[in-house]
Structure 1
Amino acid sequence: MVDSKERDSEDSFFDKFKRFKINNVPEKKSSETIDQALLNQLAYNEKIQIAITSIIASASLTVSKFIIAIYTNSLGLLSEGMHSGLDVLAALMTLYAIRISRKPPDPEHNYGYAKFESLTSLGAVLLLFIVAGWIFYEGLERIFFKQVVPEITVFSFGILIVSIVVDYGRSRALYKVAGKYGSQAIEADALHFRVDMLTSFVVLVGLAIVYFLGIPNADAYSAITVAGLIVYTSLGLGRRTLDVLLDKAPKGIQGQIHESITGFEGIKKAHSIRVRKVGKDTFVDLHIEVPRIFTHDKAHRIATSVEYKIKNEILPNSDVVVHVDAVEDYLTETIKDKIRLISEDFPSIKNVHSIYLSNIVVNETSDRSKNNETGENSLQLLHLYLDVQMDDKLSFKIAHGVVDDFEKKIKEEVQNIKRITTHIETDLDIESSVGREEMADQTFLERIKKMALSIEGVSDCDEISLVYVKNELHITLTIKINPLSIKSQDRSSDSIPSSSSNPDDSLSVEKAHDISTQVQNLLLENTNAARVIVHAEPA
């Protein structure tokens, strides 16, 4: 039987380390953040574990290769020993990079420290180039300037075979973790072991040629081959590392993002798409153009939809920032829209309403008429009249000056508006605009109902209310419209395509509005009401 103390002693350092780290994850406010913190901690533990085992493996191989290289005087083995020694240094750099890169973003490093892994990777590549240069130089020395005959023993072959097996296992494990967590530092470490495996094989072949064929320079040639392999494999990682450090966007990703959001309803254009990688994280920011008449809420919903699509369909788990540009839309923006938008440039103007336009047809002579035989040019201009609500604390002189500037800007942006008549009124708050509803004389109610029923198409009238707002009478009522009570020629003028034979379907909104307006005008003319609101329903 194995007691608990023995079992504890058999636990690996990494198991204890992992349990300690998991148990010491800081408390979060929600289950989602707790899960993410736990996943981040497990990822960190796995990367630390793989880095430490790489250090142990590299150190063991380095010592063995150096001892045998010195004993046999083999440049190939010496180059392998130096390469393995460099692997130890690279693994230590990787371990340090992992610890630094997991630090959270701070005010000075808004995107975190993940790029520290890329810097470490670049440093490891530079070290590989230095070692490759030395090996290449020493190989040329032995080939052309000095004769060195290595002493081959069974240990020479043995250490190389063991090295190939260990390097293969470590490189596979490292590449797996590097791909899983997007760690360039671990990828650089994996590259070291992969190159180690290849170079060990080359040196093994070189020593075999020296031993069996008696060609002393084969050892030097194998060393030069090792240097070439180191340079070749390091160039690829160096290029990828520089791409990350220089914020190179993944190939074709900008076009893919642009194409995926161009079809969104309401988006006129997408531009300034930028993508950058920081460690395993991808950051995206872009601009979308939407019509300026959209509400803030609608524009925000569109931006959120774009963000969701990129995060879930193109770049999973990316960080996306969508900037919304409000632009003029010549196809959908009306003159009334333009006027309301212009009013937003004047803080003293609280609201504009009751906007109406009428046509003015004039004949004017201008310099352009020289190209016209008659000398007259027919222009269609507009007369704008509207109500402008102003802050009631303003003096009339200041308010009038603001309105003058408002009218001037309207004429600049809507060039066919020639005349503007503005009615200035105070900005009513909610309390001052709340009216009081009073019981009306039954005779007066019957009179209102009779006037409403006198309009062709109105079959009933009810829910009549009398409301006083600032001592002004407002009348509200509901009318029911029966299409059958309207003359057939009036109904036939409403060209409403319908597959239904139901006469209710033949009445257009335009005709219903016309009937409501007739009721409204009749009541305004025959009562002292300042306002009449007519609600229409189908009979």
Structure 2
Amino acid sequence: MVTSATARTEKRSVALASVLAAVVMTALKLAAGLLTGSLGILSDAAHSALDLAGAALTWLSVSISDKPADEEHTYGHEKIENVSAFVETFLMVASSVWITTEAVIRIFYHPVVLRFTLWPAGVLVLSIVVDTWRSRRLRAVAARHGSSALEADAMHFASDIWSSAAVLAGLVAAWVGAHFGIGWLRLADPIAAIAVSGLIVRFAWRLAWRTVEALVDAIPAETRHRMLVEVQKIDGVLSVDKARMRRSGNSHFADLTISLSRQLTFQKTEELVREATEAVRRVLPGADVVIHPVPRAGGAESIFDKVRAVASRNNVMLHDVSIQSLGGKLHVEQHIEVNERLALREAHDFVRRIEDEIRQELPQVTSVLTHIESEPATIEEPVMAQLDRELEQHLRNAATQLPEVIDIHEVAVGRVGDKLQLSCHCTLPDELTMQRVHEVITALEDRFKLEAPEVQRVLIHPEPATDNHHH
């Protein structure tokens, strides 16, 4: 895996090599153009001079773009590469306008007689070889690290290959015309210059289109579609409500809002968010992903689920919910735990608001009856009491009256202040339904309290027979 430090070094070194190559080629082309008087070579020299400015800008931009995010640039500095690429398009268009203007003047107003020597042709051949090498190298590094600036430079130098070839062809044609007395071939050099100008405009347009898309955060529709498909495939994601993506240099950012069932726990929601993040990164490797989960009512929610959802929204503990159909209308009974320090008036008003929400969300419910219970808000510090044999015996006597109870064990008696409490484990058949388990446990508690009314709290933990190691 390529580290960020390695990527920075490689990008800067290839950009610097491009600058040095541009310096050498600009100087050679300028000398050849002045020696021969060829507008084609001079236009290519001007193009190379702009290449030099663009290469220097690229080197500067890749040096800045790798700086980490700060308070003013929270997404980092990689957008500078897109800005650099966009500026290069103006340099290319400016050179094209100058070359075309000079060519028209030479064709219609002030023809120039060329001075032919061999070494300008050698310069052009060398230019083609150098541009081919650096264009391929820049394109490879740009693809490896997702650098817009290096990609723009590679495209720019690719245009140099064709422009140098066109100038060489024009120079050869002009020499042929002068040698064999073919007058119209004297126009080959400025025509070649116009051809170079056209190539420059073509490459500039392609580069401008791509950089503008990057600067306005355009993302290919296919990429966004693949990302949505990956996220929507996750079991538990109801829908993707919003999906935004942007690219800054070689970094991608994704911001999604997904709908999840409001019945899910925080832990399950976190798990689904993690899966959604991984799904996005399968499409955009290494992307910075932000997922916003939104609770929604699922299509398969029962009336019981909807009632519990109202309680969950109000952050209260709800249990023992029952719903009866009376004359075609529904009646809800429920137990809600509230802070033990609340005054009755506060608790009553709070519960009434919950009841109103249930009736508003479920119009078929005509009445709601709530049993208000206190939820402990203090940490108890029980004083361990010696095991009370008499209380344990009362509990076992009560258990013998229930045929489903297989065993009672781990009986513990304690005191909290002046109140007695008792806890125990109760073994029941594996196949017993939870509804019946609740009925048996409630009956055992009621029978025990008849024999031991002094016990204020009873906690009975049911467990299956296969898990009983005390019987």
Cα distance change of structure 1 residues 336 and 186 upon mapping to structure 2, 3 Å threshold: closer
Whole-angstrom distance in 2 between the partners of 1:200 and 1:88:
16
Whole-angstrom distance in 2 between the partners of 1:509 and 1:411:
28
Equivalent in 2, 17, 20 of residue 53 of structure 1: 17
The one-letter code matched in structure 2 to 1:397 is R
Q: Does 1:292 align with 2:219?
A: no
Whole-angstrom distance in 2 between the partners of 1:318 and 1:193:
30
SS of the residue aligned with 1:163?
helix
Equivalent in 160, 185, 188 of residue 124 of structure 2: 160
Structure-to-structure mapping, 1:142-153, within 5 angstroms? 142-153=106-117
Whole-angstrom distance in 2 between the partners of 1:419 and 1:526:
37
Deviations 1:46-87 (A, max 9, x none): 222222222222122212222221222211111111111111
SS of the residue aligned with 1:331?
coil
Q: Does 1:321 align with 2:285?
A: no
Whole-angstrom distance in 2 between the partners of 1:343 and 1:258:
30
Q: Does 1:123 align with 2:50?
A: no
Whole-angstrom distance in 2 between the partners of 1:208 and 1:126:
31
Whole-angstrom distance in 2 between the partners of 1:480 and 1:391:
32
Equivalent in 287, 301, 310 of residue 341 of structure 1: 310
Equivalent in 243, 247, 251 of residue 273 of structure 1: 243
Assess if the C-alpha contact under 8 Å between 2:394 and 2:451 holds in 1: no
Deviations 1:365-411 (A, max 9, x none): xxxxxxxxxxxxxx22204242441351x444344333333333332
User: Which has the higher mean CA deviation after the structures are superposed, 109-118 or 468-477?
Assistant: 468-477
Assess if the C-alpha contact under 8 Å between 1:524 and 1:531 holds in 2: no
TM-score (norm 1): 0.77
Partner of 1:401: 349
Assess if the C-alpha contact under 8 Å between 1:389 and 1:427 holds in 2: yes
Whole-angstrom distance in 1 between the partners of 2:312 and 2:218:
44
Assess if the C-alpha contact under 8 Å between 1:478 and 1:537 holds in 2: no
Whole-angstrom distance in 2 between the partners of 1:435 and 1:425:
24
Cα distance change of structure 1 residues 333 and 440 upon mapping to structure 2, 3 Å threshold: same
Aligned-pair distance for 1:139? 1.9
Percent identity (aligned): 28
SS of the residue aligned with 2:172?
helix
Whole-angstrom distance in 2 between the partners of 1:111 and 1:480:
59
Partner of 1:219: 189
Aligned-pair distance for 1:199? 0.9
Aligned-pair distance for 1:112? 1.2
Partner of 2:182: none
Partner of 1:244: 214
Assess if the C-alpha contact under 8 Å between 1:307 and 1:322 holds in 2: yes
User: Which has the higher mean CA deviation after the structures are superposed, 410-419 or 256-265?
Assistant: 410-419
Whole-angstrom distance in 2 between the partners of 1:352 and 1:42:
55
Partner of 1:253: 223
Aligned-pair distance for 1:452? 1.5
Deviations 1:407-454 (A, max 9, x none): 333322233333333444544234248575552234x53343233123
Q: Does 1:140 align with 2:67?
A: no
Whole-angstrom distance in 1 between the partners of 2:308 and 2:56:
67
Equivalent in 356, 368, 378 of residue 321 of structure 2: 356
Equivalent in 392, 408, 413 of residue 445 of structure 1: 392
Aligned-pair distance for 1:468? 4.4
Gaps of 5+ in 2: 179-184, 467-471
Aligned-pair distance for 1:272? 1.2
The one-letter code matched in structure 2 to 1:386 is H
Assess if the C-alpha contact under 8 Å between 2:428 and 2:465 holds in 1: yes
Whole-angstrom distance in 2 between the partners of 1:435 and 1:340:
38
Aligned length, in residue pairs: 458
Deviations 1:200-226 (A, max 9, x none): 111111111111233100111111111
Cα distance change of structure 1 residues 233 and 287 upon mapping to structure 2, 3 Å threshold: same
Moved over 6 A (4+): none
Aligned-pair distance for 1:336? 6.0
Whole-angstrom distance in 1 between the partners of 2:261 and 2:216:
35
Whole-angstrom distance in 1 between the partners of 2:6 and 2:389:
80
Whole-angstrom distance in 1 between the partners of 2:11 and 2:247:
19
Whole-angstrom distance in 2 between the partners of 1:336 and 1:326:
13
TM-score (norm 2): 0.88
Partner of 2:300: 331
Cα distance change of structure 1 residues 358 and 523 upon mapping to structure 2, 3 Å threshold: farther
Deviations 1:281-312 (A, max 9, x none): 1111111111122222221121012112322x
Assess if the C-alpha contact under 8 Å between 2:392 and 2:411 holds in 1: yes
The one-letter code matched in structure 2 to 1:84 is S
Partner of 2:362: 414
Q: Does 1:66 align with 2:30?
A: yes
Whole-angstrom distance in 2 between the partners of 1:263 and 1:343:
27
Assess if the C-alpha contact under 8 Å between 1:135 and 1:223 holds in 2: yes
Assess if the C-alpha contact under 8 Å between 2:132 and 2:158 holds in 1: yes
Whole-angstrom distance in 2 between the partners of 1:322 and 1:109:
21
Partner of 1:172: 136
Assess if the C-alpha contact under 8 Å between 1:512 and 1:536 holds in 2: no
SS of the residue aligned with 1:152?
coil
Cα distance change of structure 1 residues 149 and 391 upon mapping to structure 2, 3 Å threshold: farther
